[in-house]
């Protein structure tokens, strides 16, 4: 018998044995409540004995990684329509009311910021040279030049939202929509039309 155990009193040994029984009972109860553990471990042991890997830890990682559920990212939502029709207002409301379901893809633009617009929030404001560099490196999912200004949606911006398992909202003009439709990306589209052309003209003049 271990000298440390021999030095324990009868009362201490009794407490130790009771604690061991409690732990054993808890472990058995957990295993009974999770029968899938036996299946997982049995499957792993069978795979190890069949493959006989030299790197058991690496094999174990690959084995259990393969069992992880595949996350399917929701299709992005493209909100489009004429400038001044109210796309930004709608997007702001969606993000405010459903923050855990929607995320916004911040586009790049070469135009000057409007009053109240914050860099990195409303848009990523860049120079013409920086924008062209992104175009040449195929960093944009789509891009367009409107009224002399460049607008582009980066692939990275969309992916960052999707990794959060949110629906990525893209604010894209009509030219950009045509590019997206030609790409292999799966998207859903929402077109916002003005009540009338005269109403749209008033909104644009009021900016």
Indicate if 155 and 134 belong to the same structural domain. yes
Indicate if 101 and 186 belong to the same structural domain. yes
CB count within 10 Å of CB 149 equals: 13
Assess contact for 190 and 77: CB atoms under 8 A.
Answer: yes
pLDDT of residue 181: 83
Three state DSSP letters for the chain: CCHHHHCCCHHHHHHHHHHHHHHHHHHHHHHHHCCHHHHHHHHHHHHHHHHCCCCHHHHHHHHHHCCCCCCCCCCCEEEECCCCCCHHHHHHHHHHHCCCCEEECCCEECCCCCCCCCECCCEEECCHHHHHHHHHCCCEEEEEEECCEEEEEEHHHHHHHHCCCCEEEEECCHHHHHHHHHCCCCCEEEECCCCCHHHHHHHHHCC
| Assigned domain for 2 exists | no
Indicate if 149 and 52 belong to the same structural domain. no
Domain count, the chain: 2
Indicate if 51 and 143 belong to the same structural domain. no
Indicate if 34 and 96 belong to the same structural domain. no
Per-residue burial over 9-46, b = 16 or more CB atoms within 10 Å of its CB, e = otherwise? eeeeeeeeeeeeeeeeeeeeeeeeeeeeeeeeeeeeee
Indicate if 126 and 183 belong to the same structural domain. yes
pLDDT higher than 70, residue 71: no
Indicate if 51 and 136 belong to the same structural domain. no
Indicate if 62 and 85 belong to the same structural domain. no
pLDDT higher than 90, residue 126: yes
- Segments forming the whole domain that contains residue 30: 10-66
pTM over 0.75: no
Indicate if 150 and 110 belong to the same structural domain. yes
Average pLDDT, the chain: 85
Highest mean pLDDT among 108-112, 169-173, 189-193: 108-112
pLDDT higher than 90, residue 100: yes
| Assigned domain for 3 exists | no
């Amino acid at each position: 018998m271990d000298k440390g155990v021999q030095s324990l009193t009868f009362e201490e040994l009794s407490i130790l044995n009771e604690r061991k029984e409690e732990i054993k009972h808890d472990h058995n109860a957990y295993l009974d409540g999770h029968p899938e553990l036996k299946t997982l471990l049995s499957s792993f042991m069978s795979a190890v004995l069949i493959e006989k890997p030299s790197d058991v830890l690496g094999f174990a990682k690959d084995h259990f990684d393969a069992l992880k559920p595949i996350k399917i990212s929701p299709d992005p939502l493209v909100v489009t329509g004429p400038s001044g029709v109210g796309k930004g207002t709608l997007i702001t409301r969606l993000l405010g009311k459903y923050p855990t379901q929607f995320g916004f893809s911040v586009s790049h633009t070469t135009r000057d910021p409007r009053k109240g617009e914050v860099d990195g929030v409303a848009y990523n404001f860049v120079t013409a040279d920086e924008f062209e560099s992104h175009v040449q490196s195929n960093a944009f999912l789509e891009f367009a030049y409107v009224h002399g200004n460049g607008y582009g949606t980066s692939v990275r911006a969309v992916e960052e939202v999707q990794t959060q398992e949110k629906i990525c909202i893209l604010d894209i003009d009509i030219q950009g929509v045509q590019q997206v439709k030609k790409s292999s990306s799966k998207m859903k589209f929402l077109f916002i039309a003005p009540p009338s052309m005269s109403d749209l003209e008033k909104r644009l003049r009021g900016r």
